[in-house]
Structure 1
């Protein structure tokens, strides 16, 4: 029997928020609004379930979800290392810009984000009546609204007008008549949620709660939203708050941002990151992984590299997001970020050199297949500095903007830029964001919001058309909801 998007969302909500239930508690199948959402612990578990949505197969998954195909593989940053056909068919949609309306990758991206939205709505609808301390209420409200804003911010950038729902939907049939709301309304809701979140979230997150949003995360995301909307004055003010707060700073070395050995407390650059944890089940290392590791390294390592790159038990290497030759050439001579981000060859087990590009930013030697500890950054301080410099330039304050660009270049071992016009600064910023944030899910968003996606990609021979500034609405959703319409061009 067909089921709607939101029936999937509701099931996902309960599966996540009611996890880790011991034998002496109410069975998960009997957990409902009547016996859940009662205590602060219940709400805390539900909020943690929302963060768990980052690892949903429809978003980042263990590390190689649709989010990174849609933001990296569809650009000049990466390409598919696998041969055409079979499991790589979906990946080549993003290289060829020839999408199937039934693309499972895009469909799971849509549903994955709505799973997260449904979880936040369940929390927010029940918080007002909860008999828990007000401080806990405020924290949970702030986190839920921050996360809802994050999900909707991705959706509206990927798809344009989307279904806007801010309350729990208890019947799958209720979702089948929700139309697409104008993007402007979606952005208004995002901003409203983030304004609340920045006032209710704590400024400091202890190491034991690594991966949870702070007020600085809300301010950073809000600044990014304003920048996307070209509200440069407001964006500059919000991003300056983050800079002046002195809660974050650049790591001394670019490579230090990403190693698995860097603790959350020691990484002063991460404002928010998806937390991964490798390991085996049980105290005695019984077989079976705990399922909280990242598969970025094993899936992005050179295709079929196997033991040579991944070690025993590390997998074969998927090459799912292979850096393009154009990406390799984008690094200036002497840029220290290149070797910390990608490699061009490796030594096979027989000693021969294999010339194959691959991403090393999330490398962890010795990790089991799909079980790396390396966290994935969602918001980091270097992005704040670059966004702030961009807003100043757009406000005609190019001379003031240059130091923020040059802070990033200095760490990379590169000379300062000087004497740039506003137009030259835009191109310099486009280049700097590309190499600084490579393989972190920024390139497609950056090119689209600056109206550069089509000209940049067409100049490099890609078969991109203006309608590719948005992705298609999954055909499955249109079949289930007759009020939904397809984006033009698909």
Structure 2
């Protein structure tokens, strides 16, 4: 009986041990509980911002010249079989969607709604950024507004018309402009993070690009 009791103890201990959260990695069960968690997740989005410097992107304007024709500005770029210009924005979009969806956990954990909205606003700014990069290069592009799984039908869906993607971009930027603080409110501690005016300026840039494209392509 003593041996049987010891075996049962070991089995029950092992079962409890299996349910323990990993100590060497973060998990959803142990994350998304505080403002610092949201901020740490949002920090990753900023790594997708372009680096300043002279490269091929400097020629994306109507008065820029380079050795080769500019397919981006002319709207004649053909969709390649595979390209980081396609996959990288979707990495950003997925990270942004993850923050937006998991922000509910932060609310349930007691993080003030106004604080959560700031980081959701940042995420929606960057989701708009990712979708705009796709529209610039490919026109119609899959609009992804949720986290996908291996069985998500969006993985096999046709590309979303560019007008619908642009509308979603405007909605994201309107939310970001409403929920993120002003530059003055950000102050030194949060200098460089997305602000209300940054979202407004980016929306103006999107509108100028799309308006110009529509005008000169008979849309």
Shift of 1:172: 3.7
1:100–1:140 CA distance, 2 compared to 1 (3 A) = closer
Q: Which residues of structure 2 form unaligned runs of 5+?
A: 1-21
SS in 1 for 2:28: coil
Q: Which residues of structure 1 form unaligned runs of 5+?
A: 1-24, 55-59, 81-91, 231-445, 453-465, 467-490
User: Which residue is equivalent to 1:206?
Assistant: 187
Quick check: 2:173–2:200 contact (8 Å CA) kept in 1?
A: yes
1:402-461 deviations in Å (ceiling 9; x for gaps): xxxxxxxxxxxxxxxxxxxxxxxxxxxxxxxxxxxxxxxxxxxx6x46528xxxxxxxxx
User: Which residue is equivalent to 1:35?
Assistant: 30
Q: What is the alpha-carbon distance in structure 2 between the residues aligned to residue 164 and residue 100 of structure 1?
A: 16
Q: What is the alpha-carbon distance in structure 1 between the residues aligned to residue 70 and residue 92 of structure 2?
A: 24
Q: RMSD between aligned alpha carbons?
A: 3.2
What does residue range 29-178 of structure 1 map to in structure 2 within 5 Å? 30-54=25-49, 60=50, 62-63=51-52, 69-70=56-57, 72=59, 77-79=64-66, 101-102=80-81, 107-130=83-106, 131=109, 132-169=111-148, 171-174=149-152, 176-178=155-157
1:36–1:179 CA distance, 2 compared to 1 (3 A) = farther
User: Which residue is equivalent to 1:451?
Assistant: 216
TM-score, normalised by the number of residues in structure 2: 0.71
1:52-93 deviations in Å (ceiling 9; x for gaps): 122xxxxx3x5569xx5356178662435xxxxxxxxxxx68
Q: What is the alpha-carbon distance in structure 2 between the residues aligned to residue 164 and residue 118 of structure 1?
A: 11
Shift of 1:173: 4.5
1:93–1:31 CA distance, 2 compared to 1 (3 A) = farther
Q: What is the alpha-carbon distance in structure 2 between the residues aligned to residue 76 and residue 112 of structure 1?
A: 27
Shift of 1:229: 4.5
TM-score, normalised by the number of residues in structure 1: 0.34
Match of residue 203, structure 2, among 193, 205, 222: 222
1:100–1:112 CA distance, 2 compared to 1 (3 A) = closer
Q: What is the alpha-carbon distance in structure 2 between the residues aligned to residue 120 and residue 126 of structure 1?
A: 10
Q: What is the alpha-carbon distance in structure 2 between the residues aligned to residue 195 and residue 71 of structure 1?
A: 28
